[in-house]
Amino acid sequence: MITEALLHCPGIGPARFDKLRSLGLRTWYDILERPDRVPAAWQEALVGECQRCVDALDTSNIDYFVKYLAPSDRWRILDRYLEQTSFFDIETAGLEYDDPITVVACWHRGRLHTFVENQNLDDLLDLLDDVTLLASFNGGSFDVPRVLTAFHIPELPCPHLDLRWLCYHHGFRGGLKEIKSRLGIARPPDLADADGALAVRLWARWEHFDERGARDLLIRYCASDVLLLLTLSDCILKRSQPTVEDLWSYLPSAEREGATASPTTAPRGPGVAPEGAFGAASPSRMRALRSRLVG
């Protein structure tokens, strides 16, 4: 449970953490209800931090937990907010830092969305406005900086959780491809040997030779990485995982025409504000921010 995250509290290391547990103080609420059990030397700082954590939980301030929980405790954020988490991955036109984004895939509110450069990439801004918690694999070093640069925005409008480091603290080391192999997950046959270098070549074939099959395969590859993150999250949290057949059933087909489809919305009664394509958030907020920054 997230309320058992105490290692980020001032002065609390593994030894003091064990000491608190031996005193029957396992959660923030335990400490707030029985502060007299906490040794005097750390009582004030510990009680203060536990109160801040409770306040953040009560107000759904996920960003507070992403910023302050100890790395070994951040899996608790995913555990608490898994149903509200959106997973994303990007592909770029090359392997250099300033190569542009070509494709983005995002699992959001129970469905897969894809975005393609020169087609609907800007629509990603609308989706980000509706995200509660964004998760990626190594996104803190790669995907997020690329998105900020590509869209000329100073920061994401939502907290971001990098699953690479959650995996690290759960014994899954290496890249996503290595972890996938360790878990025994096989991609569909057309993606069996796909990697980042192939993604670059596929984009070049679509951009320069108008090969629709290359574009579709690139979208499927990016989407498959996102779907792997769902299974990886279940593995970290020791939850039941979907079968491989169920997992890949969400992939867009190679013959698919549209790069993305907006979710249908339920009929609205009078006086109810219309929703954006991806939910209730304002679809113009991130676009407006970018417009102000780039003039």
pLDDT over threshold 70, residue 18:
yes
86 phi/psi in degrees, rounded to 5? -110, 140
* Mean pLDDT (whole number) for 172-183: 91
Q: Where in the chain is the domain with CATH 1.10.150?
A: 2-59
Class of the CATH domain delimited by 79-248: alpha beta
Higher-scoring residue by pLDDT: 276, 146: 146
What lies within 8 Å, CB to CB, of 60 at 6+ separation is: 132
Q: Where in the chain is the domain with CATH 3.30.420.10?
A: 79-248
Q: Mean pLDDT score of the chain, rounded to an integer?
A: 89
Q: What pLDDT, in 10s, does the model give residues 70-94?
A: 999 999 999 999 999 999 999 999 9
Kindly state the DSSP code that residue 174 receives in the 8-state scheme.
S
pLDDT over threshold 90, residue 62:
yes
Higher-scoring residue by pLDDT: 97, 211: 211
Q: What pLDDT, in 10s, does the model give residues 179-214?
A: 999 988 999 999 999 999 999 999 999 999 999 999
pLDDT recorded at residue 190: 94
* Mean pLDDT (whole number) for 262-290: 47
pLDDT over threshold 50, residue 260:
no
Q: How many whole angstroms separate alpha carbon 219 and alpha carbon 282?
A: 27
The third-level CATH classification (topology) of the domain covering 2-59 is DNA polymerase; domain 1 (1.10.150)
Q: What pLDDT, in 10s, does the model give residues 35-45?
A: 999 999 999 99
Q: How many whole angstroms separate alpha carbon 272 and alpha carbon 200?
A: 44
